[in-house]
Amino acid sequence: MSRTLDADAIEEGVQALAKAIRERVGDQPVALVGIRSRGDEVAERVCRVLSEDDADLLYGTLDISLYRDDYEHLHENPQLQGSEIDFEIEGTHIILVDDVLFTGRTIRAALDALCDYGRPAKIELAVLIDRGHREMPIQPDYVGITLETDRRDHVYVSLEGTDGIDQVEVKTA
Ligand SMILES: O=P(O)(O)OC[C@H]1O[C@H](OP(=O)(O)OP(=O)(O)O)[C@H](O)[C@@H]1O
Ligand SMILES: O=c1cc[nH]c(=O)[nH]1
């Protein structure tokens, strides 16, 4: 069995993220750092919405492959895309962005990867989808869509720029 969310639901999620960030951050400078893959595309979309208000924004991408705690994943997905952080991390307010938050292990790795660049003033977390079932004490500051799922379900996110289509499929085990 599976259920799907369409492009309109994804767009609503992106708009909800941008609205929540705008409300909390105001006109303070902030850097959105998207986790590859797909977190970068979500961050890009949120940046596009926020830049309509002339927000003081920086954008970067983070490849956390070498910081993961499951090395089998690297064998299955050996392509390293690399990180692109072309601004000073030291003292910067960073919002990490990912497509799905599940166990929290990706974010644990992202925090390690990011802190290798320096000491940010603050790091917050924005996710397009929170599907629950954390295995680490990590919670999002900004959520686009909250999905009730079973621990054994799989949430497949496809995004136009990465996969050619905007769609979320929740496959039950
Ligand atoms: O909270 P977690 O349990 O870490 O799960 C969330 C992560 O899982 C997915 O990435 P995945 O590991 O499938 O790699 P991908 O980015 O290469 O698709 C997704 O993009 C999140 O980054
Ligand atoms: O269901 C899941 C689990 C990990 N990562 C995803 O993107 N979906």
Q: How far is the CA of 38 from the centre of ligand 1 (A)?
A: 9
In this structure, the number of other CB atoms found within 10 A of the CB of residue 18 comes to: 23
Reduced to 3 states (helix: H, G, I; strand: E, B; else coil), residue 18 is: helix
First to last CA, the chain: 8
User: How far apart, in whole angstroms, are the C-alpha atoms of residue 87 and residue 57?
Assistant: 11
Q: Ligand 2 atom closest to Cα of 100?
A: 7
64 CB within 6 A, ligand 1: no
Tens digit of each residue's pLDDT (9 = 90 or more) over 134-150: 999 999 999 999 999 99
Ligand nearest to the CA of 109: 1
pLDDT tens series, the chain, 173 aa: 889 999 999 999 999 999 999 999 998 999 999 999 999 999 999 999 999 987 789 999 999 988 888 867 777 776 788 999 999 999 999 999 999 999 999 999 999 999 999 999 999 999 999 999 999 999 999 999 999 999 999 999 999 999 999 999 999 98
User: What is the Cβ-side half-sphere exposure of residue 38, based on CA atoms within 13 angstroms?
Assistant: 21
ipTM for the assembly? 0.95
Q: Is 153 touching ligand 1 by the criterion CB < 6 Å?
A: no
CATH number of the domain at 98, please. Answer: 3.40.50.2020
For 98, the domain range is 2-171
Mean pLDDT of the chain: 94
Calculate helix-pair angle for 7-25, 39-51, nearest 10 degrees: 60
Give the count of domains, the chain.
1
